[in-house]
């Protein structure tokens, strides 16, 4: 009964595209966020402790100094150096000691998601709870101990390697990444901040946005203006109006951050529509061992090395498990699936939420587009064997969004699309990344493009080139090639191209929605299977013998199917709850 309610509450967060907020406190304070858990639950009217007492929010806010109107008493302004020293002491104490807290996240639709944390040394317990429209439900309980995560969701229990548990809420890791206590440790981050008030032991700062973030927001305002120009009927679209108001407010005011003077704890952070507040933070002399007990229950073991089987059977897809037909698409999160065993795990991106990209040549590592706490969607290399994460692209890809990476035939480079401050509203920049050094180089001019594949000789790419026609007419698409100097040559009309490995042919969807193949120069076009008009998003296997595609039908959930290239045989690929998309096999 609650699944539709939960989905409606959280489907919109976090959204890619126009910025929903400025940099999180994790970026402003120069600290990565992680997560943890305790016994405190929450309600709209206050904090509720395990003993059943309820404490009004106004009182909790007063104790934390979060409500400036509760007291007119001004405290002595703190020294930034003293704040940083307090934060450093607290960070060291938390690393080795014990504490409990609750991080409450406010969502744009008024729902609240809380992550209650309890930490004792290396052991951490996390509980995710959602409240929406007066209903409250526990989403997941996670106990981290002895190098593994013990995850309970309803009556399902599993043991996973860190960050690999496929949680039902596709945005859960976004919240988890913002729910670990963060402390001010670098005084330089407040160098240009404005101290607004100090009340009840809490210092409130107004922090100006970094220049790159300002440019992104200015670009988003230009994008909104362009959308209205091209489609005047959308001028009063509530989503556009809200996005415009949000961007203007951030540009004018920056981010308000509140810091507890005695501990250096960042107790409140983010914009009014996506704020996180740390409530009831307290040091614990000795945590109850029962809080971390995983005995007495049967945990399905998912901790094996996923790369020890047939690596050619591993695929990546985006998944939203709570989605049901008729609901908004919401957010997808990168999962890797073993087509042979049916095993499903999350790609262990550590900093938030990720979208599928591609496998590297040995298929033990993947590239993903990761939405981190700095507000950028960067390019990350994730090691499926060890769980290690590495950000790529250097300063070139430090801001904006990076999407649709593809690895070169020799495995030494990758190409991806970067949406930064160059070009028009819909334009992205084709970008080359050296996988050894991580450095990125822009190729050619920005353009409206997508669906990157490398040419077999590694001397360029196949992609789609989109051509705007008119506001009341559909955009035209062309399969095109681009060389390493950025020269673009149209191959044939069509979209969603993918090079078939080992065959020197392109699989593409023509203007009538029919799937075909053609030579690399666009000649010798042939029907693929029966045209597969119900299918989209082709992702060929590394050997080019099979293709993973998404089949859609009205009123039904999209299905992931396997199509054999030579015979046209169609078999089920992935059958699991929710919405699946963005397949990545090569």
Summarised one tens digit per residue, pLDDT across range 410-430 is 999 999 999 988 888 789 999
131 and 263 housed in the same domain: yes
| Confidence at 237, pLDDT banded by 50, 70, 90 | confident
Domain membership of residue 428 (yes or no) is: no
Question: Per residue in 458-493, pLDDT tens?
Answer: 999 999 999 988 767 888 999 999 999 999 999 999
Q: How far apart are the C-alpha atoms of 175 and 179, rounded to whole Å?
A: 6
Partners of 439 in beta bridges: 393
CB-facing half-sphere around the CA of 380: CA atoms within 13 A: 26
Kind and range of the H or E run holding 248: helix 238-253
CATH code at 275? 2.50.20
Alpha-carbon distances of 91 from 84, 85, 180, 433, 460, rounded to whole Å: 10, 10, 11, 35, 48
120 and 138 housed in the same domain: yes
Domain membership of residue 525 (yes or no) is: no
pTM: 0.86
Ramachandran area for residue 246 (φ above 0: left; ψ -120 to 50: alpha; else beta): alpha
CB-facing half-sphere around the CA of 501: CA atoms within 13 A: 18
Contact 478, 464 (CB under 8 A): yes
Question: Per residue in 51-103, pLDDT tens?
Answer: 333 333 333 333 343 433 333 456 889 999 999 999 999 999 999 999 999 99
Alpha-carbon distances of 50 from 38, 41, 53, 55, 150, rounded to whole Å: 10, 7, 8, 12, 22
Residue 192 has pLDDT above 90, yes or no: no
How many distinct structural domains can be found in the chain?
A: 3
Domain membership of residue 434 (yes or no) is: no
- pLDDT at site 253: 82
83 and 214 housed in the same domain: no
185 and 325 housed in the same domain: no
Q: Which of 274, 263, 269 is nearest to 207 (CA)?
A: 269
Domain membership of residue 88 (yes or no) is: yes
Question: Per residue in 367-382, pLDDT tens?
Answer: 999 998 777 899 999 9
Cβ neighbourhood burial of 462 (10 Å; 0-12, 13-18, 19+)? buried
What percentage of the chain carries pLDDT values higher than 90?
A: 70
Residue scoring higher pLDDT (258 or 254):
258
Domain membership of residue 584 (yes or no) is: yes
158 and 243 housed in the same domain: no
248 and 193 housed in the same domain: no
Give the tokens for residue 485.
């100097």
Ramachandran area for residue 310 (φ above 0: left; ψ -120 to 50: alpha; else beta): beta
Contact 547, 339 (CB under 8 A): no
Ramachandran area for residue 233 (φ above 0: left; ψ -120 to 50: alpha; else beta): alpha
Q: Based on C-alpha coordinates, what's the Rg of the chain?
A: 25
192 and 213 housed in the same domain: no
196 and 320 housed in the same domain: no
Domain membership of residue 356 (yes or no) is: no
119 and 101 housed in the same domain: yes
Contact 393, 369 (CB under 8 A): no
- The residue among 268, 283, 298 that closes a domain is 283
| Confidence at 134, pLDDT banded by 50, 70, 90 | confident
79 and 219 housed in the same domain: no
The range of the structural domain enclosing residue 559 comes to: 312-340+534-586
- Helix 211-230 with 238-253: angle, nearest 10 deg: 150
Domain membership of residue 261 (yes or no) is: yes
- The residue among 264, 283, 302 that closes a domain is 283
- pLDDT at site 73: 52
- pLDDT at site 183: 97
Give the tokens for residue 440.
């990125």
262 and 168 housed in the same domain: yes
Q: How far apart are the C-alpha atoms of 151 and 127, rounded to whole Å?
A: 10
- pLDDT at site 474: 85
Domain membership of residue 488 (yes or no) is: no
> What is the arithmetic mean of pLDDT over 254-259?
91
> What is the arithmetic mean of pLDDT over 286-291?
95
248 and 269 housed in the same domain: no
Question: Per residue in 513-538, pLDDT tens?
Answer: 999 999 999 999 999 999 999 999 99
């Amino acid at each position: 009964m609650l699944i539709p309610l939960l989905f409606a509450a959280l489907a919109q967060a976090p959204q890619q595209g126009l910025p929903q907020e400025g940099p999180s406190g994790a970026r402003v304070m120069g600290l990565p966020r992680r997560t943890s858990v305790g016994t405190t639950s929450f309600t709209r009217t206050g904090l509720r402790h395990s003993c059943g007492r309820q404490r009004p929010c106004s009182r909790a806010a007063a104790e934390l100094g979060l409500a400036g109107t509760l007291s007119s008493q001004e405290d002595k302004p703190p020294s930034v150096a003293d704040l940083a020293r307090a934060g450093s002491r607290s960070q060291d104490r938390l690393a080795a000691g014990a504490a409990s807290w609750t991080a409450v996240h406010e969502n744009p639709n008024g729902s609240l998601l809380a992550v209650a944390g309890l930490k004792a040394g290396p052991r951490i317990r996390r509980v995710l709870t959602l409240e929406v429209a007066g209903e409250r439900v526990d989403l997941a309980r996670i106990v981290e101990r002895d190098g593994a995560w013990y995850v309970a969701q309803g009556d399902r229990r599993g043991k996973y390697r860190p960050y690999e548990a496929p949680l039902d809420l596709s945005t859960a890791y976004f919240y988890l990444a913002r729910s670990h206590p963060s402390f001010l440790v670098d005084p330089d981050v407040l160098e240009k901040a404005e101290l607004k008030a100090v009340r009840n032991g809490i210092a409130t700062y107004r922090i100006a946005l970094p220049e790159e973030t300002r440019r992104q927001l200015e670009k988003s305002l230009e994008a909104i203006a362009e959308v209205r120009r091209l489609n005047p009927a959308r001028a009063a679209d509530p989503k556009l109006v809200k996005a415009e108001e949000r961007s203007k407010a951030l540009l004018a005011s920056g981010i308000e951050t509140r810091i507890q003077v005695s501990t250096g704890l960042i107790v409140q952070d983010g914009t009014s529509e996506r704020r996180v507040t740390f409530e009831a933070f307290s040091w614990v002399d000795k945590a109850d061992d029962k809080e971390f007990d995983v005995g007495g229950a049967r945990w399905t073991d998912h901790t094996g090395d996923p790369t020890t089987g047939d690596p050619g059977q591993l695929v990546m897809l985006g998944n939203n498990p709570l989605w049901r037909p008729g609901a908004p698409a919401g957010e997808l999160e990168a999962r890797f699936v073993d087509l042979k065993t049916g095993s499903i795990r999350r790609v262990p991106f550590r900093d938030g939420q990720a979208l599928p990209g591609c496998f590297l040549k040995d298929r033990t590592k993947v590239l993903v587009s990761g939405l981190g706490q700095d507000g950028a969607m960067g390019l990350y290399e994730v090691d499926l064997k060890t769980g290690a994460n590495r950000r790529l692209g250097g300063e070139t890809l430090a801001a904006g969004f990076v999407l649709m990476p593809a690895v070169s035939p020799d495995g030494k480079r990758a190409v991806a699309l970067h949406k930064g401050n160059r070009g028009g509203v819909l334009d992205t920049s084709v970008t080359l990344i050296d996988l050894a050094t991580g450095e990125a180089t822009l190729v050619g001019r920005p353009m409206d493009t997508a669906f990157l594949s490398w040419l077999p000789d590694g001397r360029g790419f196949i992609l789609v080139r989109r051509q705007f026609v008119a506001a009341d007419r559909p955009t035209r698409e062309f399969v095109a090639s681009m060389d390493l100097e950025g020269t673009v040559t149209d191959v044939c009309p069509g979209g969603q191209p993918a090079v078939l490995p080992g065959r020197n042919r392109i699989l593409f969807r023509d203007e009538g929605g029919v799937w075909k193949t053609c030579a690399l120069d666009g000649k010798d076009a042939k029907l693929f299977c029966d045209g597969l008009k119900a299918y989209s998003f082709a992702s060929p296997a590394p050997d080019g013998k099979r293709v993973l595609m998404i089949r859609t039908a009205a009123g039904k959930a999209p299905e992931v199917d396997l199509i054999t290239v030579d015979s046209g045989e169609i078999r089920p690929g992935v059958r699991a709850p929710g919405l699946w998309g963005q397949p990545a096999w090569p």
